[in-house]
Structure 1
Amino acid sequence: MSADLTFRQPIEDDHARVLAALGPWWGGLKGEAGAKERALLVPRLYFQHFTPTSRLAERPDGTLAAFLIGFVSQTDPDTAYIHFVGVDPQLHGQGIGRSLYEWFFGQARESGVRKVKCVTSPQNAASRAYHARLGFEVSEVLPDYDGPGLDRVAFTRSLAAERA
């Protein structure tokens, strides 16, 4: 992993920086409609209310390198949820995403969490493969998971076996 990155808790002012990265990092996927969809998935409230369990990585010049937005479920305290993760495509393959996930798993374990969950679209083969490599169990396609026509694949990783 690139040793020149700084990792820190995000603040509300980071919201615009993350939104600005979503288009270029996702290669303009689905054009303007895709940009709007991604922006709706990362509202400002995550940068106001879920910062202790979220993380940013920055280069020495302060530019955004990666981020993870996650939280412990208030409904099920045994579960934590990773909502959105992004790594600058120029930095893929350097272990930055894995480092963010491992940090989150540690935070979750310290909070008494026993499992971590997240979802992606069925078409996102790279995400499905990545989560499997990280030890997540991958579900079958869940039709209409997020509403009509919004199918998802769910991931679950147990942390219980990792407790020492």
Structure 2
Amino acid sequence: MSQSPRVRPAVPEDYDRIIAVADEWWERPISSVLPRLHLDHFHRTSLVAEDESGLAGFLVGLISPSAPDAAYIHFVGVAPRIRGTGLGRRLYHRFFELAAAEGRSRVGAVTSPQNRRSIAFHTAMGFTVTGPVPDYDGPGADRVVFQLLLPPR
């Protein structure tokens, strides 16, 4: 029986392992939306999950430097071999703890309207769902916007 993946803070050196699996895990070209700068500058608020088989999942998140109440989840991945085990939920809850510890009261995220799995996951996690918002990320780049209010500390 395999053990539950160990979740730890990310380090910049995790980038190469993450980007190496991104397109495979999404079954489409997606790596361009995760440049190295995210792990170089936001590793303190990002997470990596590992098990005996290696990389099991990750979450790239940040504490907003401009909105003092906000945190943002930019990119999350769970290895196909371990989906449905609750790892995604664990990563989100760990990030919520990080955000709350930084005095943040809300967490946001976005996805494309075609990403039904992400929309269903965020809805099940209690996020409010807005959209699709036309041209959110520029002309023709509609996005579904998620927001979750964290419980008061």
TM-score (norm 2): 0.94
Q: 1:122 aligns with which of 87, 91, 113?
A: 113
Is the Cα–Cα contact under 8 Å of residues 4 and 60 in structure 1 kept in the other structure?
no
Is there any run of 5+ residues in structure 2 with no aligned partner, and where? none
Q: What is the aligned-residue identity percentage? A: 45
Corresponding position: 1:157 with 2:152: no
Give the secondary structure class of the aligned counterpart of 2:96.
helix
Partner of residue 9, structure 1: 9
Is the Cα–Cα contact under 8 Å of residues 6 and 60 in structure 1 kept in the other structure?
no
Partner of residue 21, structure 1: 21
Deviations 1:113-136 (A, max 9, x none): 010000000011111011000000
User: How many angstroms apart in 2 are the aligned matches of 1:152 and 1:120?
Assistant: 5
List structure 1 runs of 4+ shifted beyond 4 angstroms. none
Paired AA for residue 110 in structure 2: V
Is there any run of 5+ residues in structure 1 with no aligned partner, and where? 30-34
Is the Cα–Cα contact under 8 Å of residues 105 and 149 in structure 2 kept in the other structure?
yes
Aligned residues: 152
Query: Superposition RMSD on alpha carbons, in Å?
Result: 1.2
CA drift at 1:97: 0.2
Partner of residue 85, structure 2: 94
CA drift at 1:60: 2.3
Corresponding position: 1:49 with 2:38: no
Deviations 1:59-97 (A, max 9, x none): 124x11000000111110100000000000111110000
